[in-house]
Amino acid sequence: MLYTPAINKALKLTARVHANQLDKNEVPYLAHPLHLAEQMDTEAEICAALLHDVLEDGTLSAHDLIERGIPEVAVNAVLLLTHEEGTPYLDYVQAIQDGNYGKKIPVNNHEAALARLYHSQTPAANPQNAGLNLDPIAEGARIARKVKLADLKHNSELSRLSIVSSRDIKRLKKYREARVILGDLVYKARTSVGSFSLKVNGKPYAFHVEKRLTSNTSQSHENNPLIEYVFQADVLPLEVDDKVEAVYYFGGTLLNYESNDAFVCTTYQKDTSIITFSACTAHKFAYTEEYPFQLQTRMGTYKITNDPIKYRFYPETHTIEYRLSIDIKE
């Protein structure tokens, strides 16, 4: 984590505001903003992560933060991140996604923000850096989205809790909806060969998508990258006997079906593309206590066989993973 005069001031402020505060597991709350700050890159992002709850939990105002030397864009981010009483939670998250300050009055001292960015010693704050937004209002909104997503992920980690209650599961489901709003989870992934979605007991279920481009090892079409999508579904909110069903249609001709210790793969050919869909698991079609789920069909249907909460300390054991690779031949 970077340390600048502004970040040191933010550290002192957050330590003062959260001094006697404990989280749900009776751990000092200060560990939470510090954890978020470690994931940030720029001075303004780190300040916003450290201070994201100080207006909500303390008596400070946005003006107080400015007077104490906190960057303008960080203050704007903290304003957006402050959940005002009476605002439904998902409406609050939607406002962060939209950059909608509502009745909150953001700092719009453009010249001051420019000066700070130009003279900051933080590497990523150089205005020559591609993608840097010098508008303090828009940049504050971008930072707020980044901090809120990190906040949601950390607060979704049930491994932080010694005992998980039904209220914790309900809160986890709410945070998953918030992550959908922020674009981190989706209900449907669209690819060049078709769409992919998940259903749990017939109802849509959100999942994370990562797209990768890798070098093609085939000499005949080495100039065409291999496209791979990784779909990951966290099963912690689910219960024993729930069914997770992969829903997809890629068309084409079935070429092959194979199974090994890590994958159950189905390969299709569609026009000039070779499509391989894989349901990934360390076990197949057999009950095991190593995971809370069991693969039931080669098409990617799983059944929850053990209480997922018991596996919360090991993310790889409570995450179902599917892979879709697209090899485009000339």
Cβ pair 278, 230 in contact under 8 A: no
Task: List where CATH 1.10.3210 sits in the chain.
Answer: 5-170
d(CA 212, CA 217): 15
Terminal alpha carbon distance of the chain: 46
The token duo for 120 is 């900051």
What pLDDT is stored for residue 45 in this prediction?
96
What pLDDT is stored for residue 261 in this prediction?
73
256-302 pLDDT, tens digit each? 888 877 788 999 998 888 999 999 765 555 556 888 998 888 889 99
What pLDDT is stored for residue 285 in this prediction?
55
Where are the alpha helices (H) located in the chain, listed in sequence order? 5-17, 31-37, 43-51, 54-57, 62-67, 72-81, 89-98, 110-119, 136-155, 166-181
Helix (H) or strand (E) holding 213: strand 208-214
What pLDDT is stored for residue 282 in this prediction?
52
Below-70 pLDDT ranges, the chain: 109-134, 215-224, 281-288, 330
Supply φ then ψ for residue 94, to 5 degrees: -60, -40
What pLDDT is stored for residue 125 in this prediction?
47
What pLDDT is stored for residue 153 in this prediction?
97
Cβ pair 152, 172 in contact under 8 A: no
What pLDDT is stored for residue 216 in this prediction?
60
- Right CATH number for 5-170 from 1.10.3470, 1.10.3210, 2.60.40, 1.25.40? 1.10.3210
What pLDDT is stored for residue 171 in this prediction?
97
Q: Order of strands across the sheet with 319-328?
A: 208-214, 226-234, 319-328, 273-280, 263-270, 253-259
User: Residue 44: is it exposed, middle or buried by C-beta count within 10 angstroms (0-12/13-18/19+)?
Assistant: buried
What pLDDT is stored for residue 24 in this prediction?
86
